[in-house]
Amino acid sequence: MRMFAEFESPEPATNALATLKSLGYLDIETYSPFPLTYADARAPRGSFVLGALAFGGGLCAAAAAYLIQWYANVASYALNIGGRPVHAAAAFVPSTFESICLVAAMAVCVGFLVLERLPRLWQPIFEIDGFERSSVDRFWIVVQLQHRRGWLQPARHVLVERAARDLAGLHPLRIIVSEDEV
């Protein structure tokens, strides 16, 4: 379950974000035309998984390309022309390098699509009236309410009431509760 709070300007949204974090809400997302906090703006923009996919794809491509050329020129059909060595490793470098680049790029492309669960042409969040303005002039803060079953956990309606009370105290333009999970 998620709660959406819409703000008209960045100052109240930034204050609301800081307040929600201090109240203990851990799973908070922001949708805005620009990063709201310095930490968001300076967040690392890399992915270890994509780097590992690129390295693994490149390594496999290098091995496969070199082995194919070695087999074709040395093991399968060795030619002794003009005193050229049978295993001319320098001649294998350009096509091996091109294979590395091609397969590493393909691995990153496919890995990115899989990791980001793309293409997603529709999400329930797009059904909120006015949400498209989050890329123009509105600031949305989304709080994910996680309910864990257990003895000392509050009921779901208590979580919703508490979060609605906390968000209402921050004076957003509106608050929307969504049952949809993405």
C-alpha span between 123 and 129 (Å, rounded): 13
Of 113 and 178, more confident: 113
pLDDT value, residue 148:
58
pLDDT in tens, 95-116: 999 999 999 999 999 999 999 8
In total, the chain counts a number of residues equal to 182
CA atoms within 13 A on the CB side of 22: 7
Angle between helices 89-115 and 48-70 (to 10 degrees): 150
Q: Show the tokens assigned to 23.
A: 């109240």
Residues facing residue 40 across a β-bridge: none
Predicted pLDDT of residue 180? 66
